[in-house]
Amino acid sequence: MSVPFVVAFVPGVTPGKWERIWRDRMPRSSLELTPLPQPEALDAVLGASARMAFLRDIAADDTLHAIPLYRERPVVVAPKDHAVAAFDELALADLTGETILDGQGADTVELVAANVGLAVMPMSVARAHSRRDVIARPVTDAPDTGISLVWRADADDPRIDTFIGIVRGRTTNSSR
């Protein structure tokens, strides 16, 4: 059996569709998807324990190749009974005077639910950590984030090109 092809991904990214296509096209090559926080996912690619990763706001440079895939809209997460719930969307100025928590993990959402403060995060992260006792509303003027498929510039693995093709939507009969 071959060495698994490891792809890390940050919270909010849902690589299931690409995993299914990989398994259909590459039945003899194991794909291992590894959820990691951003710093650990980047370290995994740089240290070669992951061949590729879906990361936020990473640009290509001499060390890394990066294919931008999509942009994510920011939201504010608030307790369900907070005044934010009355809005369809907000601007950052609407949050003046509020305690804005750092972080984008489940622990931060738990603090929001406990009325410790609000949190601004990508919509997909808010959905991944959704709870019945919090709500999320779009923030119109907060910076958005971008998801990119990232790998080391010096990586030499033909499976990288195969995975890029899958993510980009190429069919089995497509050529580059």
Q: Is residue 174 part of a domain?
A: no
pLDDT tens per residue across span 148-167: 999 999 999 999 999 999 99
pLDDT tens per residue across span 77-96: 999 999 999 999 999 999 99
Q: Is residue 175 part of a domain?
A: no
Q: Count up the domains in the chain and report the number.
A: 2
Provide the domain limits for residue 80: 74-138
For residue 125, the surrounding DSSP H or E stretch is: helix 123-128
- Statement to judge: residues 150 and 65 lie in one domain: yes
pTM for this one? 0.89
Measured between alpha carbons, how far is 122 from 170 in angstroms, rounded to an integer? 27
Asked if 67 and 167 count as a contact pair (C-beta separation under 8 A), the reply is yes
Q: Is residue 172 part of a domain?
A: no
